[in-house]
Amino acid sequence: MIAGEWQQWDANWQRWRGSDYQCLFRPRGEALQDRSALQLRAYADWLLGDLEQLEARGPLDILELGAGRGTVSQYLAEAGHRTTLADRSQVGLDMAVENYERFQMQPPDVVHTDAQGTELPDASFDCVFSIGLLEHFDQPQSVLAESLRLLRSGGEAWHVIVNACPLRPETEHMTRTAYTPTQYLAWLAELGHASASCIELPYESVLLLRCTK
């Protein structure tokens, strides 16, 4: 990770804890007003749609890397899947547990760890995903490799990448990379997964990287 980034995220979560920004999840049927909340629900809906191909497996085991407050994971849990949240920020994980409890949801498994080497067992999950994580690594290959290691055969790695963009106000004072889809696909090819896809989403420099093991 780019030097100082995880500490900055830790500071962000501490600042947002207890505020309206702590929990952006709302149960289905409740309206969303906040732009970030709308985007996160859209990501969750897209991911759930992609995971329909695995529905024969029953409830899925899903890992979110760099989970923070766990908004997208809450939507997956609401849909009946088993969720595990991994983050280097204990404050972020504590917030996520509080958010699950707020809506009386099945508590997630939480792992205080580095996304580059979680120490979780091989082939533990049907899906490994992240939202806004990879762009904070100047060398994201290690996170991609860890995602693939943790996947079961036929599982899905699914990463939303929020690249640096001059139109995006950097209110969080975070550093982001701006790697292209071609670069991410080349890294996955080096890891033995040449059939991955990476598309640009209709947001400001946001990519969706997908790979089936």
pLDDT band at 166 (very low <50, low <70, confident <90, very high): low
Helix, strand, coil abundance in the chain, percent, nearest 5:
35, 20, 40
Helix (H, G, I), strand (E, B) or coil at 82: strand
pLDDT band at 172 (very low <50, low <70, confident <90, very high): low
Assess if residue 27 is contained within a domain. no
Phi, psi angles (nearest 5°) of residue 95: -60, -40
* Contact in structure between 71 and 40 (CB atoms under 8 Å): yes
Assess if residue 93 is contained within a domain. yes
| Of 203 and 17, the one with more pLDDT | 17
Residue 175: per-residue pLDDT: 81
Percentage of the chain exceeding pLDDT 90: 78
Assess if residue 53 is contained within a domain. yes
Q: Is the pLDDT of residue 76 over 70?
A: yes
- Please state which of the ranges 27-36, 73-82, 102-111, 180-189 shows the lowest mean pLDDT: 27-36
Q: Is the pLDDT of residue 185 over 70?
A: yes
Residue 174: per-residue pLDDT: 75
Residue 72: per-residue pLDDT: 98
Assess if residue 99 is contained within a domain. yes
Q: Is the pLDDT of residue 140 over 60?
A: yes
Mean pLDDT of the chain: 92
Domain total in the chain = 1
* Contact in structure between 130 and 184 (CB atoms under 8 Å): no
- Return d(Cα 192, Cα 187) in angstroms, integer: 9
Token pair for residue 85? 């949240």
Residue 4: per-residue pLDDT: 54
Q: DSSP of 131-184, one letter per residue? A: ES-GGG-SSTHHHHHHHHHHEEEEEEEEEEEE---TTS--TT--------HHHH
Question: Could you read off the pLDDT of 37-71 as tens digits, one per residue?
Answer: 999 999 999 999 999 999 899 999 999 999 999 99
Question: Domain holding 204: CATH number?
Answer: 3.40.50.150
pTM over 0.85? The answer is yes
Assess if residue 21 is contained within a domain. no
Write out the residue range of the structural domain in which residue 164 sits. 5-16+34-212
Question: Could you read off the pLDDT of 103-139 as tens digits, one per residue?
Answer: 999 999 999 999 999 999 999 999 999 999 999 999 9
Task: Count CA atoms within 13 Å of residue 98 on its CB side.
Answer: 16
- Return d(Cα 93, Cα 67) in angstroms, integer: 7
